[in-house]
Structure 1
Amino acid sequence: MRLDKFLVECGIGSRREVKKLISDKLVTVNGNIAISPKENIDENIDEIKYKGKQLEYKEFRYYILNKKAGYITAIEDPRDKTVMELLPEWVIKKDLAPVGRLDKDTEGLLLLTNDGQLNHRLLSPKSHVEKTYYAELETEIGENEILKLEEGVDIGGYITMPAKAEKIDSQKILLTIKEGKFHQVKKMLEAVNNKVIYLKRVKFGKLELNSLELGEVKEIKIDDIV
């Protein structure tokens, strides 16, 4: 692989930008200052450093974010802050995209990757990937409403698939669904005459938030996801 392509793939900058970094002698190959962006390197063997920090080539990258409220799930937006602004500097953002979406006021687990095939597979209706949400409600919820949620409710001309609903206390539940309809959890609670006042996704397939702090990001591997 050409050195400039490697640097671009590692998220260091555009092709033009990395050429300047090389001319500024900020890149080394196996301990030697790189001279030409056209230099061929072996991304699996050679030691490439930028400003003294070793770079690691990964064709696909996977990160989980504990999303804060107030950010929309988009790569860019002219009006609102996006989840991309929550990502720290060490995250390689090149071609990175969220898998699915969380509402602006919803917190919790969001997967981001540049693996387009995986993104498509996880979001396919045929995949039935389970998503678990912690919800705090406006009013008490009874066992009859829990049962309705589990059987499926009408959220506006669409009957939801059977879900798992676990009552934590009178106004807190864990709801696990296999779909991703627009505002689905909120609409499901409205269908049983209640309202969500706080919502956080705590699981997505095999992935769990666990001790990940609000706004924190962690790099993971494909084996953690599928």
Structure 2
Amino acid sequence: MEPVRLSKRMAELGLCSRREADEYIAQGLVRVDGQIISELGSKILPNQKIELAKEASRQQANRVTILLNKPVGYVSGQAEDGYKPAATLITAENHFPGDRSGIQFSPSHTRGLAPAGRLDIDSVGLLVLTQDGRVAKKIIGETSELEKEYLVRVSGRLSEEGLRRLNHGLSLDGEKLKPARVWWQNQDQLRFILQEGKKRQIRRMCELVGLRVVGLKRVRVGRIMLGDLPPGQWRYLRSDERF
């Protein structure tokens, strides 16, 4: 049995993200077989018992996840080419009045807030921002199979064969794509359900079958729907909601 980094093992077990694990280890909040481990980079055997102190659980409970209806013109992550990050929209003024989470907005909720997945500058809809590494892993981790659903307005002609290829049969960057579910929502709009999120994937898939995307909106991540959240507004993920 090969030793593994403690932070990696904690992430594998779903206790937290690797970054969070390093924070907890440095704070002396992690025990392995009853012993506090506070040295970063420590290795353990996979069968050793890991426990998080109550303080770590308290810190996790205070981390928030935010659902934003991203408008056009904002980037998902760091500022680029003069465009503002979507996280700059997380202000008291933009808080959705219909938020039923019961959470009071605090400026501390914007610290360490990272996008779990991306939406292009010219795409709109549901963007998840979270302080919780467990949530990010659930949505964009290497083993994630969480569905993402999109409404996609297109121009051009799509044959039956093209529609079949959108569902199963396309490759990007030399890799076969996972099967998708794609069907006509109305005359000029397709509905896509994907289990992966390569860069500009839907736009590139459409190009391969002779279509041009003229509008793209994400309406669902896992079991969380965009619903009636207005563009540019956000709300907290409620305690009874799960991706």
Write out aligned runs for 1:12-91 (5 A): 58-77=61-80, 79-89=82-92, 90=105
**1:3 corresponds to:** none
**1:204 corresponds to:** 221
Q: Which has the larger radius of gyration?
A: 1
1:181 is aligned, of 175, 191, 198, to 198
Partners of 2:113 and 2:78 lie apart in 1 by 8
Partners of 1:85 and 1:141 lie apart in 2 by 38
- Counterpart of 2:84 in 1: which secondary structure? coil
Residues 141 and 194 in structure 1, CA contact (< 8 A), matched pair in contact too:
yes
**2:119 corresponds to:** 102
Instruction: Please list every run of 5 or more consecutive structure 2 residues that lacks an aligned counterpart in the other structure.
Output: 1-59, 93-104
Instruction: Please list every run of 5 or more consecutive structure 1 residues that lacks an aligned counterpart in the other structure.
Output: 1-56
Partners of 1:119 and 1:222 lie apart in 2 by 16
Stretch of structure 1 that moved more, 145-154 or 63-72: 145-154
Stretch of structure 1 that moved more, 144-153 or 195-204: 144-153
One-letter amino acid of the structure 2 residue matched with residue 195 of structure 1: R
Q: After superposition, what is the alpha-carbon deviation per residue over 1:118-171, rounded to whole angstroms, capped at 9, x for unaligned?
A: 212321231211111110112132332221111131223122111001202232
Q: After superposition, what is the alpha-carbon deviation per residue over 1:85-110, rounded to whole angstroms, capped at 9, x for unaligned?
A: 21123462021111111111100001
Residues 158 and 210 in structure 2, CA contact (< 8 A), matched pair in contact too:
no
- TM-score normalised to structure 2 length: 0.65
One-letter amino acid of the structure 2 residue matched with residue 202 of structure 1: V
- Counterpart of 1:117 in 2: which secondary structure? helix
When the two structures are aligned, how many residues end up with a matched partner?
170
Residues 77 and 85 in structure 2, CA contact (< 8 A), matched pair in contact too:
yes
- Counterpart of 1:145 in 2: which secondary structure? helix
The structure-2 alpha-carbon separation of the partners of 1:195 and 1:222, relative to structure 1 and needing over 3 Å to count, comes to farther
- TM-score normalised to structure 1 length: 0.70
Residues 138 and 146 in structure 2, CA contact (< 8 A), matched pair in contact too:
no
Partners of 1:178 and 1:113 lie apart in 2 by 20
**Higher relative CO (CA 8 A, sep ≥ 6), structure 1 or 2?**
2
Query: Following TM superposition, where does structure 1 have runs of at least 4 consecutive aligned residues deviating by more than 3 angstroms?
Result: 75-78
